[in-house]
Structure 1
């Protein structure tokens, strides 16, 4: 089950975190993984690890905010079967502490970047069908303190997902998104080190406990859901958002 043999999969932000875990899972499942990241060294590291595990992968150094660059890179892939939009950035702040520059930075990566990558893949998918999986967030559905710009961007990802699913369902293209709660990635460690030096362990535990299940997700757990939704076994699923949140949305009442 969940074999991706003979499928070409583009995964953005695959140099670290959820994107890397997804690339590793796809490589083990037989896909030719096109590892997209702005950081060349990170992309090549992921490619090397996939190959060391017997998989097939290619690095594509791409700035997802630049549509022409995305289109040119994606044209190197003969047939795009799967696109996973994992590249994203975060921002801490409420409305009055979010500057225009903050908003533009979040929009350019989290909204325009997803748009650019779907735009770059859709022509290929219209020929043979395909699957698009976008990374939304629990912030798409519920209010999160001090996440004004980030929540805006992930709400847009959810809306774009539904729109694309509707517009291309007759052409054999499925489009879904997932909404994780907190995931223990290098970003979390960096955030804690920068903002809570000396108190990292205490704050890590506090953030972990915001999920009713009592911990953060592992990137590999998120990747497993992505693998399923991009596999043929999920062929009847489109236009859906899947929370993977340790009970955050339904149990935090």
Structure 2
């Protein structure tokens, strides 16, 4: 069973594409006329030039909006496509769900004629800068330790790639892990946590002590005092990275 067959029923409600991130992704695709979206989920960030979406979860495919590109149930490690099938391949916040990243990246390189565009995160930077994980929920950081790939290793698998930092706006509309960095109350909402895989895949009892401390710190103003610098910021770089590799 795909991870999001369990986690995905209300995914689209909390994971609305942020237009600023979308603009970065679409610009990175350059002049590519045809795009394959791998790990496509419910279709977030999918440009109109997408000719096929690849997604293992039927639950996620069923949430794709009318008029989306055709979708096929398959995994990144075994793409049901011929060599050089599209100008570009897009993979957005999906590599951490793959069972074999090396095999998946090899498939992206096989299918892409010109370019591969990946949005992921640098786990070392993320672990250091994202207050929720290191301050309140170290169990979530440890969970990601087991599925994150070092950025240098990923660049090597791609045969080289350009890296661009993707700072998150304070009002990011896409509810992935660090999206609410300036809106800490959001992490107390079970609906928000259900759309963040690193939180949704941990037992509620594991998260409960840390969330209780967060709730108390917010109620007393301790969090606000400790993180006053964040409240004055419009964007924050917590390690999300855009990788662009030409094939």
TM-score w.r.t. length of structure 1 = 0.48
The structure that is helix-richer by fraction is 1
Q: Which of 1 and 2 has higher RCO (CA within 8 Å, sep 6+)?
A: 2
TM-score w.r.t. length of structure 2 = 0.49
